[in-house]
Amino acid sequence: MKKNSALAKFEKLKRILKRYPGVVVAFSGGVDSTLLLKVAKDVLKDNVIAVTASSPLYPQSEINNAKKIARLLKVRHKIIHSRELENKAFKNNPRNRCYYCKIEMFKNLKKIAERDGYEVIEASNYSDLGDFRPGLRAVNELDIHSPLIEAGLKKDEIRELAKYLKLPNWAKPSMACLASRIPYGVKIDEKILRRIEESEAVLKDSGFIQCRVRDHFPIARIEIIPDDFEKLLKKRDKIIKSLKKIGYKYISLDLEGYRTGSMNL
């Protein structure tokens, strides 16, 4: 680890968290929010509540993973059921759909925090500032705190720290909500989300850790890291059969490989 960078920011993160009487952490179970939750627990002891949103936008496996990690860290954990699909503005799938999702979630978290006089914190990191992140508008509007950004921690530094702290998911691939696989302007519904979830489960069960199935129905566009192309071609018959059974007519492999935000182009 680069001690003069990541560790210095780690100490700054602890100082930032010490300002709060207690916190409600928006906790997805990913690497960023796990690091934030771990440090908050170390600094604030029992004055920490982790909250995870459950909805058709998130695979059940991710919810189960969040529960497991919260138990490991011995943090109070609440599961809230968010209702993004009841919001017409979100369902219409505009480019700023993340804003509508985050605004609802953070409003719910603020209600929980107000009961104990806590603050709401979330796990956006410094690297996110250079990406297309409409959800940050909701963060700013509702005065949600982003300690990882304030500490200047970048994505690679967060992974370094998570490994240093022996967090079980330090190498976990990044995971965005399932709606990020749907082209903007295509209305989001539960049927599409389940189709994507089932298709990505097929790939993961076949040994592909970092993968996406972008839904251009009836086409499934598979994104995996280029080093896995040969492995996928060896397993193509099984994968094609499984994805066609799910409902796709054409199965394609994106030759550019996996990359975040490919639907933002």
Q: So which residues are the catalytic ones?
A: 177
Q: Which residues contact 8 (CB under 8 A, 6 or more apart)?
A: none
Q: Which residues contact 33 (CB under 8 A, 6 or more apart)?
A: 25, 26, 27, 122, 123
Whether the CB-CB separation of 257 and 214 falls below 8 Å is answered with no
- Cα–Cα distances (Å) from 125 to 48, 60, 147, in that order, read 20, 25, 8
- Burial class of residue 66, CB neighbours in 10 A (0-12, 13-18, 19+): buried
